Amino acid sequence: MQKQKKPKQKSREFQAATIQRNYFSELVESIREELLVALEMLPDPVFRFQDLVAGLAVEDPKLRVLYQEIFQDLVVEGRVENEKEGLFRWLGGSVQRSGKPKPEAPFPAEVPGKAARKNGTLKADQFTGKVEHVNKGFAYVVVQGLERDIYVDTDDLRGAIDGDEVKVQLYGRRRNDHEQGRVVEILNDVHQQVVGVLSHGGRYAFVRPDNRRIYEPVDIPLNEINGAVNGDKVIVELTSRASRSRPALGKVTSVLGKAGDHNTEMHAILAEFGLPNEFPDEIITEAEAIPEQIDPSEIKGRKDFRKVLTVTIDPVDAKDFDDALSFKKLANGNTEVGVHIADVSHYVRPGTPIDAEAYQRGTSVYLVDRTVPMLPEKLSNNLCSLRPHEDRLAFSAVFEMNPQAEVVKEWFGRTVIHSDRRFAYEEAQEVLETGTGDYADELKTLNELAKSLNRERFREGAINFETTEVKFVLDETGRPVGLTKKVRKDAHKLIEEFMLLANKRVAEFVFRISKKKSEPNTMIYRIHEPPDQDKLNTFSVFVARLGYSLDVSNEEKLAKSMNGMLHKAEGKPEQNLLETLAVRTMAKARYSTEDIGHFGLAFQRYSHFTSPIRRYPDLMAHRLLQHYLDKGASVDAEELEKKCMHCSERERLATDAERASIKYKQVEYMSLQEEDKVYEGVISGVTEFGMFVEISETASEGLVRMNDLNDDYYEVDKENYRLVGERSGRIFTFGDPVKVRVKETNLSRRSMDLTLVDAFSVSRRRGKATAGKTGKGKIAKPKRDKGRSARRRR
């Protein structure tokens, strides 16, 4: 009997939900018709919305919100227009008594960023862009080509969430120096799935998303929880977006496991960023069918390097070896260095399911405990891995170099190689430092050439960006029991310089062999635009307050000055912060067919050629290079640019997922330490709700909330990046060393609250950095933000 009752219960819930949805739909149509009738009866076409609703005797606050939302729909449709601040004009239009509005012409999906006036697809005050929901109360819509983003209140997002592509209409007023607008249509709902923890209260259920930029929970009907129980981490498909009057609705599509479990959380991070966890069965089957033996006929068409000394140098725990170096001393005193890259293009052919899957992934993903590869293991860890003592197919860039590391001759093409030795970075470093061990002379020569290449890069204007990286030691359950900071030594830099050389010379070679110099061969480049001048100016003012100087007057001086500043900061508490901020000031590198060079590396042309096992753009570069070696015509740039954009976006998601996994383990690690342990840190940011502190030992960041600064009233001095005590004049400013304890950790949000233990009573003043002082030597109070005090009472 019990089994017969359950379907009835679900049926009642479904019927109730259906009745509720139908009722809401009818209510909306009824209100719409009521508004239109009221507008037709207005004695004056210019009116205030408050007067219109007052005439309808709408007293319920929630119902008034619904009236306002439907009224804004009429504004969007063009039946009502903004006359000026607070006033609207009724433009007329017949009322359909059926309750259904007149059909509107649909907008095409491919709308431009800037609005075309009247005769275009958008009205003059409409734009399309991407939502950045930076705060619970508001978001920005980033529109390509607009100098400033459009400000949108959360209530005006129309259910759009962070990352969605939307159409936005301007209100005709400004907020925080930004045009204010309202979302009128979601064009591309990026996040149809969210990941979070299910709360099940018996009569209700909801999921609070892990994504920090999705602020409100998603309601889940009880018949849509898919067997999940309270506290489960789940994937939810959104079935209805939120509005002013109701939350978003969704259904559980997958139960990942208990929140807090290591594997559950890593799977959740992948799902949060829309990244795959496993390969489809048909992809595995296709990969397993590829023969392991190299066909002798294939070797005949390649240059044979099997008798040339060849080594790989990789991390000690690496499973795939996608690059190798060969070494040959020539009779003329020069050195032949071969940069050999796994020939993935031989095994992964265009149009195959494996190729389609690799393109969709775009890149391998590296979380703290695992790699989610771009290619199945049969390829990534076997056939395309340049393992020692095995013949392997490669695509190579071979350089004859003189003792000054100048390339006097080069060759590009397909090869067969045989690695003689696999070095871990630590092993190669020991050989370089002691001068003894396997191939000591050869490694010494390669290292000297690499150092010469490095010096030349920096003479040309390269910038030395090196941010602190941490690596966790995990136990068998995945708990972090220790961590180390990665240190880059000569062995790492040796490999890096030769990979950079190959990437650079491949790009230059493809350009050089173009049939028409006026129309060079289309190539996939890794580009890096010069930084925005306004951001540079802001950054230079900021570092000056910390006692550093930065010349941003031109690109040549910037590189030298930036390197000098970063060198000066080495070993100081603010080193990692300055390095991180310097990277953020720069534009992000991306893939493109545009031949504009790489600013950070100071290369006129630069491609990605050296990692086709883990980066799809490198696989495309291999195919393009072979196409042009075979005298092929330049390929279609438009189609290739679309692929570049896709790969750039996949790379961004993979990077975000990696950072999220590191952040999770940092917070988990801190939660397992002694409760009252004191940590040294550096203030990494100040806001109206507190100050962020980066803990030096773990490179993890936490928040000291205003409510926990109970010795004074503090105000935010945004211009000088600091908090100022109203009575004491005590200052907390960016870069100051402080001591903190962990107050609370929140693994689901990957966040940490700290309490202050000790700090300098005033900020350090280095050199001529006197900002914040008055002419009489007193500390200047920050300007109070009109309309909203930044003061917090302790």
Domains and CATH numbers, the chain: 2-90 (1.10.10), 126-188 (2.40.50.140), 193-259 (2.40.50.700), 281-527+601-660 (no CATH), 533-586 (no CATH), 673-759 (2.40.50.140)
pLDDT at res. 104: 33
Of the candidates 470, 495, 496, the residue with the CA atom closest to the CA atom of residue 482: 470
Identify the weakest region by mean pLDDT among 409-418, 557-566, 584-593, 754-763: 754-763
691-712 mean pLDDT: 90
Least confident of 114-118, 287-291, 300-304, 316-320: 114-118
- Mean pLDDT for the chain overall: 85
Task: Show the 3-state SS of 608-656.
Answer: CCCCCCCEHHHHHHHHHHHHHHCCCCCCCHHHHHHHHHHHHHHHHHHHH
**pLDDT band at 93, cuts 50/70/90?**
low
CA 651 to chain centre: 8
Handedness of CA 110, 113, 118, 124 (dihedral sign): positive
This prediction has a pTM of 0.78
* Distance (Å, whole) CA 572 – CA 547: 12
Assess contact for 465 and 588: CB atoms under 8 A. no
For residue 571, how far is the Cα from the chain centroid?
A: 28
Q: How far apart are CA 287 and CA 735, in angstroms?
A: 52
Which pLDDT band holds residue 597 (cuts at 50, 70, 90)? very high
Which carries the bigger pLDDT value, residue 220 or residue 699?
220
Predicted local distance difference test score (pLDDT) of residue 11: 46
| Helix axis angle, 425-434 to 440-459, nearest 10° | 100
Q: What is the pLDDT of residues 182-219, one digit of tens each?
A: 998 889 877 788 999 999 988 889 999 988 889 899 99
Positions of E strands within 455-587: 470-474, 480-485, 525-527
pLDDT at 287: 97
- pLDDT at residue 84, as a whole number: 67
**CA 650 to CA 359: how far, in whole Å?**
9
